[in-house]
Chains A and B, each alone.
Chain A
């Protein structure tokens, strides 16, 4: 990796749009928005895990302290939060599986000659994205039903 005058390595193209580029930088495909959601759910899960580990520390204070905490988490507000965490995990895990397969080249398909109208490999393999999304929605609904009933 070369470095420029300011000592910044050229690891990738310059990120001119910053955080705004996560959300909108023109005519994105569905996969690009899944990337944004993957990032948001990842950050959300990281925040939740940090809180979860702090909460686990209450175990050290004994049974009474633990029981009080669990009663608090039984309230409807926390239940909604718990469901959102599970939905975020379902999305992050299954979309992550799609990304791994894609990064390793398994879901990109064979290269084709560039004959007009051009169709890139992502669009040719779009059904995989729809199937993954359908599984995510089905699992999220199943977990919601489990929570409600």
Chain B
């Protein structure tokens, strides 16, 4: 993909995260009940809506975080071969994190 397309995806994922992380923080950290008890967490885990929410949050979060880190690293002048290795490393790491992190809510569903 072109760098401009990657950047547009960074903006789109950032806007998505604004709403998804905002909702997650409101529900899990600022709500007046007991959102982190086993019962509450299990209740949310049984909902298909929450499962879809967490999967989308993961996709946006992993892309936004890793692309941001890649942007920082690419500011340092590194050889083209290293850039290619870095790109593939980030793709593999991103997929591995997604696999591990998505397994948790899917397993609990």
**A residues touching B (Cβ–Cβ < 8 Å)?**
3, 6-9, 11-12, 14-15, 18, 39, 42-43, 45-46, 49, 53, 56-57, 59-60, 63, 66-67, 70, 73, 82, 86, 89, 93, 96-97, 100, 103, 143, 146
Contacts and interface: CB of A to CB of B under 8 A. Distances in A.
Contacts of A9: 80, 83
B14 A100 contact: yes
Given A53-B100, A59-B104, A63-B38, A93 B61 contact: no
B38 A67 contact: yes
In terms of DSSP, what is the predominant structure of the interface of chain A?
Answer: helix
Given A42-B65, A57-B100, 20 more contacts: A7-B79, A7-B80, A7-B81, A9-B80, A9-B83, A11-B74, A12-B75, A15-B76, A39-B72, A43-B69, A46-B65, A49-B65, A53-B100, A93-B14, A93-B17, A93-B18, A93-B21, A97-B15, A97-B18, A146-B30
Say which size band chain B's interface belongs to: 35 or more
Interface in B1-58: 11, 14-15, 17-18, 21-22, 25, 29-30, 36-38, 41, 45
Closest 6 CB pairs of A and B: A63-B38, A7-B79, A46-B65, A93-B18, A8-B77, A53-B101
Nearest to B107: A60
A65 to B, nearest CB: 10
A6 B104 contact: no
B15 A100 contact: yes
27 contacts: A3-B80, A6-B79, A7-B81, A8-B78, A9-B80, A11-B74, A14-B77, A42-B65, A46-B69, A49-B65, A53-B100, A53-B101, A59-B41, A59-B45, A59-B104, A60-B104, A60-B107, A66-B38, A67-B38, A70-B37, A82-B29, A89-B21, A93-B21, A96-B18, A100-B11, A103-B11, A146-B30
A57 B41 CA distance: 13
A71 to B, nearest CB: 10
B99 to A, nearest CB: 11
